[in-house]
Chains A and B, each alone.
Chain A
């Protein structure tokens, strides 16, 4: 009997819930700690006052037990802890968590993770329209011998807007103009998550299991395939639904002088009401075909 790489992975309970490409770049199980996920701080020079306010509002990610006032600790998919991205309690505000890598092979990569989201359980009602969205993005830049582009594929699940429960996947291919930071000509910023320019992914409606009170959560599977050679999206899958992303554009801007081969992963959440919203990530598997 020949044992294949897939057999070995299926025999490992930590990996059998994922479908990694050939090489696992990182496997972040938050029962082992933060695994390199941290706060996305805005750029600044000489003074913190130069930071874009929407970045200054980001909070620090937490290792959470998903605990609630009425039923105690919920826990993760297979352990106690999950990464928690929490917004402040203000309508329209967002928060993020980031992991910063670089790539060594410009080819296909696959991001897989388990996620769930809820508003802070401050009311005895379902509150299903208090989370505006949750999502993820890559912040990528080509190698300096490639095309000289910074490419940022953005995907979000628009859960609710203006009190309506929308439940639709969207992408974004627009950002704000670059703004120079400070006086030394070395730092600039743009607000790629600014709340404009989100567009519907064709056929992107999806009814996710939300459960029936604000303290009951169910975990969802997500897979996102991207080609670092062509700098194009390929496909994504959430639970039982697959989405062809071959025609979906990313944000593309000229390369920056100090970001070559950048491979940053970001998760984010946006609040729809003046209530904190929480995005929980149980585990993350990033793999590549090399």
Chain B
């Protein structure tokens, strides 16, 4: 059997300010994951923001996994966050400074 592989779009064309999280995504079948956080548009000091991978025991309660990256500072910038050993659920938490608005598209690339 070929390894299962799937790209999920878990956020698209939302307007993020302050703190934002993606919807919970269940992917216990996958052993590795890469979040690609691409800026469709970036206004203000988005580059001072951080993106954090979060994991969960139940899809309801969340903790930081420890992997983080700077948020893109301009349109078409892409942040990359790689994780493994993440259990069954994943999401992305993004914090942005005052005056920053990010319009993201987030691709979660998963592989068994």
A contact residues vs B (CB 8 Å cutoff):
33-34, 39, 41, 48-49, 51, 56, 59-60, 62-65, 67-69, 81, 84, 86, 88, 120-122, 276
Contact = CB atoms under 8 A, between A and B. Distances in A.
Contacts of A120: 59-60
A48 to B, nearest CB: 4
B26 to A, nearest CB: 4
Contacts of B13: 48-49, 51, 56
A41 B58 CA distance: 27
Nearest to B9: A60
Contact of B40 (A39, A48, A51): A48
B4 A84 contact: no
A69 B27 contact: no
B24 to A, nearest CB: 7
Given A39-B9, A60-B10, A67 B58 contact: yes
B84 interface: no
A60 B60 contact: no
B75 interface: no
Contact of A122 (B25, B29, B57, B60): B60
A56 B6 contact: no
Contacts, number: 55
Given A39-B8, A69-B57, A276-B23, 13 more contacts: A41-B9, A56-B12, A60-B8, A60-B9, A60-B10, A62-B27, A63-B27, A65-B26, A65-B28, A65-B88, A69-B61, A86-B23, A121-B60
Contacts of B25: 60, 62
Contacts of A56: 12-13
Nearest to B61: A69
B86 to A, nearest CB: 14
Interface in B1-16: 4, 6, 8-10, 12-13
Nearest to B88: A67
A68 B29 contact: no
12 contacts: A39-B8, A39-B9, A41-B9, A49-B13, A60-B10, A62-B27, A63-B6, A68-B58, A81-B29, A88-B23, A121-B58, A276-B23
B9 A69 contact: no
A30 B11 CA distance: 23
Contacts of B10: 59-60
Contacts of B12: 41, 48, 56
Contact of A63 (B26, B58, B59): B26
Contacts of A34: 4, 6
Nearest to A31: B29
Contacts of A81: 29
| Most-contacted residue by chain B among A33, A62, A65, A67 (CB, 10 A) | A62
B87 to A, nearest CB: 10
Contacts of B88: 65, 67
A24 to B, nearest CB: 21
Nearest to B29: A63
Contacts of A88: 23
A69 B59 CA distance: 8
Given A49-B13, A51-B13, A69 B29 contact: no
Nearest to A39: B9
Contacts of B40: 48
Q: 5 nearest interchain CB pairs?
A: A69-B58, A48-B13, A60-B8, A62-B26, A64-B26
A32 B8 CA distance: 17
A123 to B, nearest CB: 11
B41 to A, nearest CB: 10
A88 B8 CA distance: 16
| Most-contacted residue by chain A among B10, B24, B26, B57 (CB, 10 A) | B26
